[in-house]
C-alpha cells in the first residue's frame, strides 16, 4: 500500500469521491483510483455477473443435450411455427 502525497490528496478531495484518473509518466499508462468501498461493490457485481453467466451456460448446455435426445423436437418446431 502507498500513501498519497499532498497534491494527490488535494486532487482526490476535489473529485468529491468520484474515481480519479492517474497517469504513469514512464509509459503514459492510465489508471483509475477509486475508494475501496466502490471497488468492492464493483468487484461483487462482476462476480455475481460471472456466476449468472456460468449458470446460463450450464442451462444452455443441458437444453442442447435434451434437444439432441428428443425424437419429437422437429415436430415441436414445426408446430411452433404454424400461425
Q: What is the mean pLDDT of residues 57-77?
A: 77
> What is the tally of structural domains in the chain?
2
CA 83 → CA 72, 74, 80, distances in Å? 20, 17, 8
Domain that holds residue 30: 6-34
3's grid cell: 500513501
Instruction: Look at residue 1 and tell me if it is in a domain.
Output: no
Cα gap 4→12, rounded to integer Å? 9
Cα gap 23→14, rounded to integer Å? 17
68's grid cell: 439432441
Considering the domain architecture, whether residues 44 and 30 belong to the same structural domain is answered as no
pLDDT at 81: 61
pLDDT at 52: 77
Considering the domain architecture, whether residues 29 and 42 belong to the same structural domain is answered as no
Eight-class DSSP state of 3: -
pLDDT at 41: 87
Considering the domain architecture, whether residues 52 and 72 belong to the same structural domain is answered as yes
Q: Does 11 score more than 70 pLDDT?
A: yes
Amino acid at each position: 500500500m502507498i500513501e498519497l502525497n499532498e497534491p494527490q490528496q488535494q486532487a482526490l478531495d476535489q473529485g468529491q469521491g468520484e474515481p480519479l484518473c492517474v497517469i504513469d509518466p514512464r509509459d503514459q499508462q492510465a489508471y483509475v483510483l477509486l475508494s475501496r468501498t466502490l471497488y468492492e461493490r464493483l468487484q461483487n457485481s462482476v462476480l455475481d455477473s460471472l456466476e449468472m453467466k456460468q449458470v446460463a451456460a450450464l442451462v444452455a448446455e443441458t437444453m442442447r443435450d435434451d434437444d439432441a435426445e428428443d425424437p419429437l423436437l422437429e415436430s415441436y418446431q414445426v408446430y411452433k411455427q404454424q400461425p
